[in-house]
Amino acid sequence: MKRRFILEGLGCANCAAKIEMAINKLDGVKEATVNFMTQRLVVEGEDEKMPAIIQAAEKIVKSIEPDTIMKRA
Protein backbone atom coordinates (compact mmCIF):
# COMPACT_ATOMS: atom_id res chain seq x y z
CA MET A 1 0.00 0.00 0.00
CA LYS A 2 1.25 3.47 -0.90
CA ARG A 3 0.29 6.62 0.97
CA ARG A 4 1.17 10.18 -0.01
CA PHE A 5 1.49 13.15 2.31
CA ILE A 6 2.35 16.83 2.10
CA LEU A 7 4.89 18.05 4.65
CA GLU A 8 3.64 21.60 5.03
CA GLY A 9 6.33 23.89 6.40
CA LEU A 10 9.31 21.58 5.78
CA GLY A 11 12.18 24.04 5.94
CA CYS A 12 15.43 22.18 5.43
CA ALA A 13 16.79 19.59 2.98
CA ASN A 14 18.93 18.00 5.69
CA CYS A 15 15.84 17.51 7.87
CA ALA A 16 14.00 15.95 4.91
CA ALA A 17 16.85 13.43 4.56
CA LYS A 18 16.74 12.64 8.31
CA ILE A 19 12.95 12.12 8.15
CA GLU A 20 13.31 9.81 5.14
CA MET A 21 16.03 7.71 6.83
CA ALA A 22 14.06 7.40 10.08
CA ILE A 23 10.80 6.39 8.38
CA ASN A 24 12.63 3.80 6.25
CA LYS A 25 13.76 2.10 9.49
CA LEU A 26 10.18 1.59 10.73
CA ASP A 27 8.80 -1.95 10.87
CA GLY A 28 6.64 -2.72 7.83
CA VAL A 29 8.01 0.07 5.62
CA LYS A 30 9.10 -1.11 2.17
CA GLU A 31 10.18 2.33 0.98
CA ALA A 32 9.75 5.93 2.11
CA THR A 33 10.83 8.97 0.12
CA VAL A 34 10.81 12.64 1.06
CA ASN A 35 11.12 15.24 -1.69
CA PHE A 36 12.23 18.52 -0.15
CA MET A 37 11.43 20.61 -3.25
CA THR A 38 7.80 19.43 -3.52
CA GLN A 39 7.43 18.88 0.26
CA ARG A 40 6.00 15.41 -0.39
CA LEU A 41 6.36 12.19 1.56
CA VAL A 42 5.51 8.86 -0.06
CA VAL A 43 5.37 5.78 2.17
CA GLU A 44 5.02 2.27 0.80
CA GLY A 45 4.43 -0.42 3.37
CA GLU A 46 2.52 -3.46 4.53
CA ASP A 47 -1.26 -2.88 4.51
CA GLU A 48 -1.93 -4.16 8.02
CA LYS A 49 0.88 -2.07 9.55
CA MET A 50 0.05 1.17 7.71
CA PRO A 51 -1.91 2.85 10.58
CA ALA A 52 1.04 2.28 12.96
CA ILE A 53 3.53 3.40 10.30
CA ILE A 54 1.63 6.66 9.71
CA GLN A 55 1.39 7.35 13.44
CA ALA A 56 5.12 6.74 13.92
CA ALA A 57 5.94 8.85 10.84
CA GLU A 58 3.98 11.78 12.29
CA LYS A 59 6.02 11.53 15.50
CA ILE A 60 9.27 11.42 13.52
CA VAL A 61 8.31 14.49 11.49
CA LYS A 62 7.37 16.41 14.67
CA SER A 63 10.58 15.44 16.46
CA ILE A 64 12.82 16.54 13.56
CA GLU A 65 10.77 19.51 12.25
CA PRO A 66 8.36 20.65 15.04
CA ASP A 67 6.63 23.26 12.86
CA THR A 68 5.92 20.87 9.98
CA ILE A 69 2.39 19.55 9.47
CA MET A 70 1.88 16.16 7.81
CA LYS A 71 -1.29 16.16 5.67
CA ARG A 72 -2.79 13.52 3.39
CA ALA A 73 -2.12 14.42 -0.25
Q: Which pLDDT tens digit goes with each residue over 21-32?
A: 999 999 999 999
> Residue 70, exposed/middle/buried by CB under 10 A (0-12, 13-18, 19+)?
buried
Q: What is the pLDDT of residue 39?
A: 97
Other Cβ atoms within 10 Å of 67 Cβ, number: 9
Q: Which CATH architecture has domain 2-72?
A: 2-Layer Sandwich (3.30)
> Is the pTM for the entire model greater than 0.85?
yes
- For residue 42, the model assigns a pLDDT of 98
Summarize the confidence of residues 39-60 as an average pLDDT: 97
- The answer to whether the CB of 19 falls within 8 A of the CB of 41 is yes
**Cα 12–chain centre separation:** 14
- On whether the CB atoms of residues 57 and 41 are closer than 8 A, the answer is yes
Query: What is the model's pLDDT at position 10?
Result: 95
